[in-house]
C-alpha cells in the first residue's frame, strides 16, 4: 500500500509501515529525524490544491494523521476564554482536522489527545493507552477511524499502586506527568510510542482485518 503519515517528523510510524513492506511517506513542516521518504511542507498541499479548492486525485491507500494538539487538547482549552486570539487558533486547528478527516482516502486514522475534536466534530472511535502496547506509561489517546478497525492491545503493562490508584512510570504519585518544562517538551510528548506504531503497522496491514 501507499501510506501517507501526516504531521510526523520522527519517522516512527512511517518506518513501522516500511518494515511491513509498504511504501510509506511522512510529511511535516519540520525535516524528518530519521532516514526515509519525507515531504517537508504543508500536508494540505499534498492532499488538496487550495488555489482552486479541489482535492487532488488521491494516490494514497491510507493516511495516518497526527495534527498538532496544542490548541485542541483539554488541558489548554481553559485559556481560550481569557485569550480570544487563542480561541481563534483552536478554530483554525479544528478546520485542519476537518481537512484531514475529509481527505479522499479510503483508510484514515487521526490521532489526538482528549480534547475538543470529540465535542466539535465527532466522538473518537477508540481511546488507547501506551501501557496496552508494551510501554510503562499512561497517556490516553483518541483515534478517529475511517475504513480501519480498532487496534487490539498487544502487551499489557501492569501499573504500580499508589494510595489505591494505578500509576505508571511516566507519572508522579499524584498522577501528573513527570516530564518537566523544557524547550523540547512538546516534541517528546508528541512522539508516537513505538509499540503503538508497530500495532498500527501490523494490524492495519492485514487485508482481512481492514
- pLDDT attached to residue 45: 87
Domain encompassing residue 13: 2-203
**Judging by beta carbons within 10 Å of its beta carbon (0-12, 13-18, 19+), is residue 121 exposed, middle or buried?**
middle
54, 95, 171 from 179: Cα distances, Å: 42, 30, 8
- 99 within some domain: yes
Summarize the confidence of residues 67-94 as an average pLDDT. Answer: 75
Q: What confidence category does residue 208 fall into, taking pLDDT thresholds of 50, 70 and 90?
A: very low
Least confident of 31-40, 43-52, 122-131: 43-52
Summarize the confidence of residues 64-90 as an average pLDDT. Answer: 76
- pLDDT attached to residue 201: 98
Q: What confidence category does residue 33 fall into, taking pLDDT thresholds of 50, 70 and 90?
A: very high
- 208 within some domain: no
Label the pairing between strands 160-162 and 38-40.
unpaired
Rounded to whole angstroms, the Cα distance separating 16 from 196 reads 10
CATH of the domain at 138: 3.40.50
Residue 53 in 3-state DSSP? coil
| Residue of 152, 150, 170, 151 whose CA lies nearest to 160 | 170
- pLDDT attached to residue 141: 95
- pLDDT attached to residue 175: 77
- 15 within some domain: yes
Q: What confidence category does residue 76 fall into, taking pLDDT thresholds of 50, 70 and 90?
A: low
- Above 80 in pLDDT, residue 129? yes
Summarize the confidence of residues 3-19 as an average pLDDT. Answer: 97
Overall residue count recorded for the chain in this entry = 210
- For the chain, the domain total comes to 1
- Above 90 in pLDDT, residue 180? no
- Above 90 in pLDDT, residue 11? yes
Q: What confidence category does residue 123 fall into, taking pLDDT thresholds of 50, 70 and 90?
A: very high
% of residues, the chain, pLDDT over 70: 81
Rounded to whole angstroms, the Cα distance separating 54 from 178 reads 45
Positive or negative torsion for Cα 151, 155, 156, 158 = negative
Q: For residue 162, what is the enclosing H or E element?
A: strand 160-162
- 9 within some domain: yes
- pLDDT attached to residue 59: 84
- pLDDT attached to residue 55: 62
Rounded to whole angstroms, the Cα distance separating 183 from 180 reads 10
Q: What confidence category does residue 48 fall into, taking pLDDT thresholds of 50, 70 and 90?
A: confident
- pLDDT attached to residue 158: 96
- 209 within some domain: no
Amino acid at each position: 500500500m501507499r501510506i501517507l503519515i501526516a504531521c510526523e517528523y520522527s519517522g516512527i510510524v512511517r518506518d513501522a509501515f516500511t518494515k511491513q513492506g509498504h511504501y510509506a511517506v511522512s510529511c511535516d513542516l519540520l525535516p524528518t529525524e530519521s532516514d526515509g521518504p519525507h515531504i517537508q511542507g504543508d500536508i494540505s498541499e499534498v492532499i488538496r490544491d487550495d488555489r482552486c479548492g479541489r482535492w487532488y486525485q488521491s494516490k494514497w491507500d491510507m493516511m495516518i494523521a497526527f495534527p498538532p494538539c496544542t490548541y485542541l487538547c483539554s488541558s489548554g482549552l481553559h485559556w481560550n476564554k481569557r485569550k480570544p486570539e487563542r480561541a481563534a487558533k483552536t478554530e483554525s486547528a479544528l478546520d485542519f482536522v476537518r481537512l484531514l478527516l475529509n481527505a479522499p482516502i479510503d483508510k484514515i486514522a487521526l490521532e489526538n489527545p482528549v480534547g475538543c475534536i470529540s465535542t466539535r466534530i465527532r466522538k473518537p472511535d477508540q481511546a488507547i493507552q501506551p501501557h496496552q502496547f508494551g510501554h510503562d506509561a499512561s497517556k490516553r489517546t483518541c483515534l478517529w477511524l475511517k475504513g480501519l478497525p480498532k487496534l487490539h492491545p498487544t502487551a499489557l503493562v501492569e501499573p504500580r499502586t499508589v494510595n489505591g490508584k494505578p500509576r505508571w512510570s511516566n507519572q508522579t504519585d499524584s498522577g501528573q506527568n513527570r516530564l518537566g518544562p523544557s524547550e523540547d517538551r512538546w516534541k517528546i510528548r508528541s512522539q508516537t510510542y513505538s509499540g503503538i506504531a508497530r500495532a498500527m503497522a501490523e494490524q492495519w496491514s492485514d487485508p482481512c482485518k481492514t
